[in-house]
């Protein structure tokens, strides 16, 4: 067959049937009319549809960060403040960087170039390259004019006092939310509420027009703490010195206002710098005054004596026979380090006799002792809002054996936290009542609180505690020139693996001026290992240094003649363990 050119094809001369021509014409006209109608409808009657589609491509609602509230001490000194920083982010699809550009960006951000490339190779629409950079460094990144690389304004928390305030203040995370301490306990008030605004962005994510403000940000509220910066520094520095001198593992100091219950200082070691947490480990992070419980030892004896006075079992001067310096209950024997013979109730506290304290305890019912410990706040967290706060260990009275009741009289078989112990001593520093302790400054301190002991009992035990720091007591090193001091030492073996180990916790709790108590200071030294481990040798000197400095800082008038301290060359009485 001869090939026929397409242009010469006889099919081209054939005419379509008339009905097909008309059908095609009708279909085309119908489609054209439909398009015109749809166009008129969308642009004239339902123009929101096209507007929504356009806005979906270019309009965005972006958050406006609220500035986190400041934290200040009771005098207005700033302890935590948010400073402006910037974060570098990228649209991976647009961030096609040349090798030289990637190296320049990595060098500025102090990152590995491989890490930068991995982030920019992500299949996500948005990635952070590095967050919370100083504004001047972010400006240098912007000067590189890299495609797909942008920056965002944020805030970063700064703590001027660093490690001195670390456990009290805590810190915030990268999203500026509280993670520890005050930052967590008061996070709701400090955070505020982010605002929002509607903007027009181009395809590269740059804002080209501000459309409207939807919600203005609600700035966070400032928090005024009960904390006194000067008292806090005294507590921290003297605790640090004591740990170094005694080669101790850890320690803590709590300073309370005896009248209001406000926490004026809370220091722990080991500590950390909240501004640089790169090498932070768990031991540094623990707020030991609230998270670590320990057997308080002889610091519990005043409570036993107070209950015996309250129940009418004894009087201040009632004689108690402690000879021959030991006491057998069942198969166990309680010992005194020294044989004292007959002691008054006051001398049992002054010389810290285990036998005397055990006899006082056994004169009462387990239910009465348990009720007293419970009313003092032992066995339950104080619920201050700090993470990890524990309540210690206080077993139900019905499970107590006689030997357990006897040993609880001098702080064995019960565990407490340092903050609980400091608060419980309010009962002696005040007229037998307890007021709640407060992290925030109180404009109107409570006048009265929960009554635990009568005012008469509190005054009598206060006199016993004052005897304990004089010559013949266990803590002459707790004396302060110009002030009458009252307090009690404690030394206890640590429990490891369910048994007592040859490791110790030394403690001291006291208050001053004894004539009208203003401050309560509690000290705990964990595992002193430089030859001394008794509370009177290790913890009492820290108490004296912190208390003396704090009283002078607060301008508390002396209540005793300013004369040489009554410390003899004779070794002080050792508290029994």
**Residues catalogued as catalytic:** 298
Task: Compute the distance between CA of residue 543 and CA of residue 253 in angstroms, rounded to an integer.
Answer: 9
- For 357, which DSSP code? H
Q: Could you write out the three-class secondary structure of 371-395?
A: HHHHHCCCCCCCCCCCCCCCCCECC
Residue entry with tokens 């706040």: 377
Residue entry with tokens 């054209």: 32
Task: Compute the distance between CA of residue 517 and CA of residue 537 in angstroms, rounded to an integer.
Answer: 24
Angle 256-257-263 from CA coordinates, rounded to 5°: 45
Task: Compute the distance between CA of residue 539 and CA of residue 201 in angstroms, rounded to an integer.
Answer: 64
Two tokens at 480?
């302060």
Residue entry with tokens 């008129």: 40
Contact yes or no for 216/209 (Cβ under 8 A): no
Contact yes or no for 485/510 (Cβ under 8 A): yes
Q: How many residues does the chain have?
A: 577
Contact yes or no for 182/51 (Cβ under 8 A): no
Give the DSSP per-residue string, 275-298.
Answer: T--TT--HHHH--HHHH--B--GG
What is the radius of gyration, based on Cα positions, of the chain? 37
The residues, ordered by sequence, that sit 6+ positions from 532 with a Cβ below 8 Å of its Cβ are: 246, 538
Residue 57 neighbours by CB distance under 10 Å: 11
Q: Please confirm whether the linkage preceding 518 is cis (ω < 30° from 0).
A: no
User: Which has the closest alpha carbon to 450: 383, 524, 376?
Assistant: 376
Contact yes or no for 415/441 (Cβ under 8 A): no
Task: Compute the distance between CA of residue 535 and CA of residue 276 in angstroms, rounded to an integer.
Answer: 34
Contact yes or no for 338/348 (Cβ under 8 A): no
Q: Where on the phi/psi map is residue 353: left (φ > 0), alpha (ψ -120 to 50), or beta?
A: beta
Task: Compute the distance between CA of residue 171 and CA of residue 189 in angstroms, rounded to an integer.
Answer: 15
């Amino acid at each position: 067959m001869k090939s026929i050119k397409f242009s010469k094809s006889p099919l081209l001369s054939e005419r379509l049937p008339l009905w097909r021509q008309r059908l095609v014409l009708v279909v085309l006209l119908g489609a054209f009319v439909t398009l015109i109608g749809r166009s008129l409808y969308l642009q004239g009657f339902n123009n929101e549809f096209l507007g929504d589609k356009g806005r979906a491509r270019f309009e965005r609602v972006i958050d406006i960060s609220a500035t986190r509230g400041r934290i200040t001490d009771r005098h207005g000194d700033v302890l935590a403040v948010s400073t402006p920083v910037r974060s570098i982010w990228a649209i991976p699809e647009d961030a096609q960087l040349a090798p030289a550009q990637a190296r320049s960006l990595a060098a500025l951000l102090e990152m590995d170039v491989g890490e930068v490339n991995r982030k920019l190779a992500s299949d996500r629409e948005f990635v952070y390259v590095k967050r919370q950079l100083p504004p001047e460094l972010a400006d240098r990144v912007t000067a590189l004019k890299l495609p797909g690389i942008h920056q965002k304004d944020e805030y970063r928390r700064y703590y001027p006092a660093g490690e001195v305030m670390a456990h009290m203040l805590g810190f915030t995370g990268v999203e500026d939310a509280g993670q520890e301490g005050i930052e967590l306990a008061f996070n709701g008030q400090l955070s505020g509420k982010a605002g929002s605004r509607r903007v027009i962005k181009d395809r590269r994510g740059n804002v080209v027009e501000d459309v409207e403000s939807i919600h203005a940000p609600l700035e966070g509220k400032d928090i005024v703490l009960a904390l006194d910066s000067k008292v806090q520094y005294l507590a921290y520095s003297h605790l640090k010195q004591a740990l170094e001198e005694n080669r101790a593992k850890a320690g803590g100091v709590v300073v309370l206002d005896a009248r209001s219950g406000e926490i004026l200082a809370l220091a722990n070691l080991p500590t950390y710098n909240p501004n640089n947490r790169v090498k932070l480990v768990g031991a540094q992070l623990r707020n030991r005054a609230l998270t670590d419980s320990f057997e308080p030892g002889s610091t519990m004896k005043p409570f036993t004596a107070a209950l015996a006075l309250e129940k009418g079992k004894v009087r201040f001067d009632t004689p108690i026979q402690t000879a021959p310096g030991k006491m057998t209950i069942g198969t166990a024997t309680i010992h005194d380090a020294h044989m004292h013979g007959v002691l008054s109730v006051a001398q049992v506290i002054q010389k810290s006799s285990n036998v005397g304290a055990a006899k006082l305890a056994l004169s009462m019912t387990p239910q009465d002792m348990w009720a007293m410990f419970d009313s003092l706040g032992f066995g339950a967290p104080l619920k201050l809002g700090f993470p990890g706060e524990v309540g210690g260990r206080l077993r139900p009275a019905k499970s107590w054996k006689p030997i357990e009741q006897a040993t609880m009289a001098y702080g064995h078989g019960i565990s407490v936290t340092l903050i609980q112990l400091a608060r419980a001593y309010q009962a002696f520093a005040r007229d037998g009542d307890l007021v709640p302790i407060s992290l925030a400054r109180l404009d109107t301190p409570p006048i009265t609180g929960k009554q635990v002991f009568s005012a008469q009992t509190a005054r009598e035990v206060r006199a016993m505690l004052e005897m304990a720091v004089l010559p013949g007591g266990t803590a002459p090193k707790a004396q302060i020139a110009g002030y009458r001091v009252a307090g009690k030492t404690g030394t206890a073996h640590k429990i490891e693996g369910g048994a007592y180990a040859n490791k110790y916790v030394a403690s001291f709790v006291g208050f001053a001026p004894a004539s009208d108590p203003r401050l309560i200071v509690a000290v705990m030294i964990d595992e002193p290992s430089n030859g001394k481990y008794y509370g009177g040798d290790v913890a009492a000197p820290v108490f004296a240094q912190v208390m003396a400095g704090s009283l002078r800082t607060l301008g508390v008038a002396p209540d005793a003649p300013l004369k040489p301290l009554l410390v003899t060359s004779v070794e002080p009485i050792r508290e029994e363990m």
